[in-house]
Structure formats: structure tokens, C-alpha cells
Chains A and B, each alone.
Chain A
């Protein structure tokens, strides 16, 4: 019954989506205010219908209704409640429904918070979101119905992949999806602007917070996924250049570029056409990222079972959406008009450089990701592109980004002088040099250089604030007063840039990690990077739906006991599968990482790691996302300013944030 209700709500959502796509767009085209007014209600209707549908799926999952195929294949009565709930978006069908729900939430958000927008722009944005939702809701309903029944129902389910039964992964998909799908809003704004034939600073001001929100979620989602693969998969790495990982990195790269070029549109009304193209491209990459990989076209760990019908539907949908939007772009882009002038050395120039480099990196990563597919189809060669390729190509392109990143924010708009800007950063350069020299004693050349670059990024970002508050040049009290008065978005920039620096430092540190694989008898002690790992004993333990073998490892340094870790090997009974539970001890500057392998004649194969600075990789991503949230908080305050609502159509007073 509940399943049928969910199925019905899903069908209702499709109807709402069709109406949401047709009526507002038609109304905006014909200038009919009543049709345009219908847009928010339709978007909210679709949102509510999908929320009900997804709620039903969660309920069915919690109730262990194994007559629903999706639940029978992915759940089990013994599965902990948390994973019964999160399992709703863990399966293929459920994840598609969840994807549609988030897209509907985006439409709902524009409907709820879009009041100050010009009526026709709002109608078009919601209409485009509806048209996109149409395709995916239909896909969910026809090709991957999560409520399909199974007869006769089995006594129990087949259980979820044990690797996915983890709190970190439970919340990885929602955040990642919010990031992917969030880029639908800038995309809808871009298409709406093309249809309107007009882009101005106000448009930029509207697009940026949505982009920023999506970007924050994507950053968080990628970091969470990478962290999960670090501590769950037990391979000791954090990024494998797997197609799925690349698929999330691509929209992140172009989304970051979009974030920066939207600033130029907002502040200087330049780079309009380019920004629109980036918005389209970012959403196209998000779409193809989620669906090409899930459809099994790219060979990956994450691909679900291959199903040709699904693949064809998805390919057609992608072709329509991406091809259609590019067609609109080709026809309408010339109408967007000219843009402000600027010198090559200026804030705009720096942001253009940022865009070129980020897009080059994205192009290289994309080539590496899809080349195997082409080689297979066209050249009949089985080839894979591994981490060495990405390291050899991404590193040289990322280096200028790192170097220019600190310099950019200190340049003034329109025309700037490079030399004074560099002078302002002398102390950051000095710190970076010192860090580089210091690191080169203990590290290889490349990580030492990366450490220096990281220091340059962190202190260069701080230098921007130091410069603004005139630290040590004014009395400390007035510096503090200036600090308090600084707009939040300045802190957002600083945090975002410094966060990347922290991540780079973490990656550099991680490349100096020590790993040992040893055969240990209980009582044996092994030395790894100055730490003594002693295997105390091995015992059996029982979990709710698995049996575990647990090792107790006591770690000490120079005879001083540090910590005791208990890595496990879990054998899941229903899925006949073993997983390794790595155990990690961290003190924020290094991780001690222990994995239990198989046992032979009373001895256990252990893998022991010392990973310097590893936590910084994810901590940096957290700082980046916090920086985005910081800017977002600032921007929201300004957009919600009452003067804006009174005069929605004009371009609003030039803001006074940037000096």
C-alpha cells in the first residue's frame, strides 16, 4: 500500500514536472502573467509529490517490506535502522529518486526565495528546472521504478553491500548530490538569461549564491567520499583517479571557475557569454558524471549492474539536455552584448587566468577519463589511464593556479600594477620559502615544493586580510575595528584559498607516508617510522549482521605507550563478503593506520601506515566549504536587503565591498 502511494506520488510528480516545464515557459514567451504566476506553485507541487514518494520509500525500507524488489535486493531484517533509512538512497533506483527529489528541492527553493526576481526570469528559471526534472522523473518512473513489486516476496532481503554500511557513506550521497544537482540552478539561470536575451550585474548577483551553495556541497561531498575511501576501503590512499572520482572532480573544477567568473559578471559586467557557457558546461558535467558512471558505460568500482535499456534512455536524455542547451547558447549568445574593458593585469585578468587554468585541468582530467572508452570503441584497444597520467598532467597546470592564487585578490579591478601587489606579499613569500627549505631536509623535491606552495597559499590568503586591516601600521585597536568591519565575503575568499593550501599541504605530507606489510605473531613488535606496533592478541567478536576477527595492536614510541587500536576483518553472513575495518589514530599532524589482513598458522598479515598530515586533506576541504558558507552568509544578507525587493528589476546599487 505504502509502495503504491509512493509510486502514485512519483507519477504525480511527473505530471507536475510537465506542467512546470510547459506553462511558465509558454507564459514567459507570450507574456501572460497568469501562466508565469503558476510557476512557483507547480514547482512546490512537484517538490511535495517527490518528498512524499521518497518518504514512502524510506518507510517501506524501514518496514522491511521485501515484496518491493528494490528493498529485497538491498535490505535485510538484521540491517541496523540507520542503514535502512540511508539505504533508501544507497540503491540504484533509490538514488535516482533521491536525485529527482533534490532537483525538485532546487525548483522549490527558487519558488520560495525567488520573489524579488523579475517575473519572466523567475518563470523561465522554474520552467527550465521543470523541463530538466521531466526527463529524470520519467526515467525514474519508467526505467528504474524503486517501488516495483516482487512476487512471491522472499522471506528476507539480500542485504546492502557491507562496504556501504558506514556512517560516513550514509551521508556522502546526499551532500554530493546536493552539489551535483545544485548546479542545475545556475544552469537554469543561464538558459533563462539566454531566452531573455539579457544578462546584467543583477543576474550575476542572483547566480552566485546558488553556485556557491552547490559548490560548498560538492566540496563537502567529494571530501567525504575521499575520506570514506581512506578509512573504509583500507587501501591507505585517499584519491585513486577512478572514473567516479574524476566525474565529481570535473564539475568541481568548472564550478570553481564559474564561481569566479560570476564575480566578474556581478562586479564588472564582463565575461557574460563565458559565464553562461560555464554554467551550462558545469551542469552538463554534473549530469554526465552521475549518469554515465552509474549506467556502467565507464568501467568503475561504483557502477551498478549494466542495463542497456537504462543506458540508452540516459544517453538520450543527456543528448537532449546538453545538446539542446548548447543549441540555445549558439543561437542566443550573440544577443548578450558586449562587456566591460579591462587590462590583462587586473582582478578581471587574474580571474580569467583562473578560468583558463581550471578549465585546462578539467579538459585534461576529462581526456584521461574518457580516453579508454574511445580507445576501446574506435581503436579496439584495452587501455587504462592510471594515476601517473593524472599526476603528470594535472600537476604542471595546477602549479600556476597555486602561485597566482595569492596574488589575484590583491589586484585592483580594471587595471592594476603587478609589482606593488607582489611587494605586499613579501612576507608570505618569505614564509613559503622558509617552509620549502625546511621541508626539503626531510622530503623529496616535489613534496617540499608543494609544502612551499601550500604555505604561500595559506599566508598569501591571510596577507589579504592583514593588508585590509593595516595590521602593525595602525594601532592594534583600530586594526581590530577594521577586522570586525570587514565583509564576510572577504573572509570567505581567504578561507577558500587557505583551505586549498591546507589540503595541498596534507597531500604533500601524505606522499611521504610509510607503509609496511608484515606477518606478525601475537607478541611481535614492528617498527614503522619510529613507532613500535605490537600485536597483543587476536580474538573473535560478533556484530549485528556480521562476525568479526579483531586484532589488538598497542602502539608506543620510545617505550611510551600511545594508543591501542583494534582493526577488524568482518565476515558478513548474508552477502558472503568480508570487509576490512581499518583503525586510525590521529593527532591532527599524522595518522597511524592499521589494517588486519588474513591469518596464517596463528600469525596475522598486518599493514601498518604512518601518514603524516593526512587529516589536513579533509580539514582543508572543510575550511574551503566553510569559506563558501561564509561568503554565502554575507551575500544572503545583501540579497535579502529590503531595498532590493522594492525594485527588483534595476541592477541595484553597486556594492561597496571591494575597495
Chain B
């Protein structure tokens, strides 16, 4: 086998390898990518038909309820970005860092009644940390203007009268 033919074989093998990798990536992208949707965008942007996406925002203070569904314990709470809020139900043990008034990302799908059924709830951060997705959603909904300083205490985030709370808090 000549050098040239061998090189051709190697190049072909690489092309097949990378080509299949690219093809797999593209096909998987179309079916497995998870969109991040904020509560106020849920009516327009959320995928229907049971497709899984991420819902992110803050847990509305006072909305956490313990529930039992089909014999399994779980929780229901509302997630808000200041503009709108969505009711979320989850079966299982909430993460240790889950708190009312703090940022949360829930992975799941929209139910026919408009509520969100979470398969997974992520709250992997401490009280000073805001998931970037959530921070962005809050900026977009106009609840936080980064030019005016750091976000105030998270307990104020979901206050119904946001502007008053902000003025009161300085």
C-alpha cells in the first residue's frame, strides 16, 4: 500500500468518524435541546405536547404546598419572574437548597391545564447566587436593571408591587 493510498484511507476514516459525529449531533439537537422559558413567556414560547423544557424564576413566597399524588409525596409551588407566575408540581424530595423567594430551575413539561409538571427541580446554589438564566429572565421582564446596582434581597423579587418594594428598600 502506498503512502498516498494510506493517507487517503486515514482521511476517509476521519471523515466518516467526524461526519457521523456531526450527523448524530445535529439529529440529537433537533430532538433533545431544552429551551429555557421564563414564566411570562410561557404562553408564547413554551413548547407544547409534552416536550421537556426548563422553567426558571423565583419561588413565590408563601406558595409552597406539600401534596400527595398517587400515594407519592411531593410539592407544588409557583414560579414567578415578576411578570407572570406558573404553578409547578413536583413528585419527590426537593433539593436541600430549595427556598421560597429564591431562584429555581425546573425541568419538565407543560400540562393540558397550563400547569407545569416538573421531573427535576434544580436549586444548586446558595442565597447569594442567582442562576444566570433566571437573572437574565428577570432583566428581560424589567424587574432588574443591572445599571442600577446589584439585585436586592431575593425576598423582594416576587413582591407583587415590585416598584414600591424597590423604593422602600432604597
Q: Which residues of A contact B (CB under 8 A)?
A: 161, 299, 301, 305, 338, 341-344, 352-353, 356-357, 359-361, 363-364, 367-368, 371, 381-386, 388-389, 392-393, 396-397, 516-519, 575-580, 595, 597-598, 600, 605, 607
Contact = CB atoms under 8 A, between A and B. Distances in A.
Contact of A389 (B32, B37, B72): B32
Interface in B1-32: 1, 3, 6, 9-10, 13-14, 16-18, 20-21, 24-25, 27-29, 31-32
8 closest A-B pairs (Cβ-Cβ)? Answer: A382-B36, A597-B93, A356-B17, A360-B21, A388-B32, A392-B28, A389-B32, A519-B73
Contacts of A389: 28-29, 32-33
B124 to A, nearest CB: 5
Given A383-B33, A396-B24, A577 B73 contact: no
7 contacts: A356-B17, A367-B25, A382-B54, A517-B72, A518-B71, A595-B93, A605-B73
B96 A579 contact: yes
Given A344-B9, A353-B13, A385 B34 contact: yes
B1 A343 contact: yes
A383 B47 CA distance: 13
A396 B20 contact: yes
A385 B33 contact: yes
Contact of A397 (B20, B128, B131): B20
B131 A299 contact: yes
A386 B96 contact: no
A392 B20 contact: no
B94 interface: yes
A385 B54 CA distance: 11
B155 interface: no
A517 B36 contact: no
Contacts of A357: 17
Nearest to B71: A518
Nearest to B16: A356
Interface of B: 1, 3, 6, 9-10, 13-14, 16-18, 20-21, 24-25, 27-29, 31-37, 52, 54, 66, 68, 71-74, 91-94, 96-97, 107, 124-129, 131-133, 136-137
A382 B32 contact: no
Nearest to A515: B92
Given A383-B35, A385-B32, A575-B126, 17 more contacts: A305-B129, A344-B9, A356-B13, A359-B17, A360-B17, A382-B37, A384-B133, A392-B27, A392-B28, A396-B24, A517-B72, A517-B74, A519-B68, A580-B96, A597-B73, A597-B94, A598-B93
A341 B3 CA distance: 7
Contacts of A579: 96
Given A392-B28, A393-B21, A382 B35 contact: yes
B34 A386 contact: yes
Contact of A360 (B6, B20, B94, B96): B20
B32 A364 contact: no
Nearest to A242: B124
Given A518-B73, A605-B73, A607-B93, A397 B24 contact: yes
A518 B20 CA distance: 44
Interface of B is mostly: mixed
Nearest to A383: B33
B73 A517 contact: yes
A364 B96 contact: no
Contacts of A338: 3
A281 to B, nearest CB: 14
B32 A383 contact: no
Nearest to B17: A356
A520 to B, nearest CB: 9
B10 A392 contact: no
Nearest to B72: A517
A574 to B, nearest CB: 13
A183 B16 CA distance: 28
A392 B31 contact: yes
B126 A382 contact: no
Contact of B96 (A305, A341, A385, A577): A577
Nearest to B66: A600
A146 B42 CA distance: 45
Contact of A383 (B1, B34, B124, B132): B34
Nearest to A356: B17
B119 to A, nearest CB: 10
B74 to A, nearest CB: 8
A462 B3 CA distance: 35
A396 B10 CA distance: 21
Contacts of B73: 517-519, 597, 600, 605
Nearest to B129: A305
A364 B13 contact: no
A305 B129 CA distance: 8
A363 B21 contact: yes
Given A363-B18, A389-B28, A517-B92, A383 B68 contact: no
A299 B21 contact: no
A243 to B, nearest CB: 12
A364 B124 CA distance: 26
Given A579-B96, A598-B93, A598-B94, A364 B21 contact: yes
Contacts of B124: 301
Nearest to B137: A382
B11 to A, nearest CB: 11
Most buried by A among B9, B34, B125: B34
Contacts of B16: 356
A606 to B, nearest CB: 9
A301 B107 CA distance: 16
B132 A607 contact: no
A314 to B, nearest CB: 18
B24 A393 contact: yes
Nearest to A386: B34
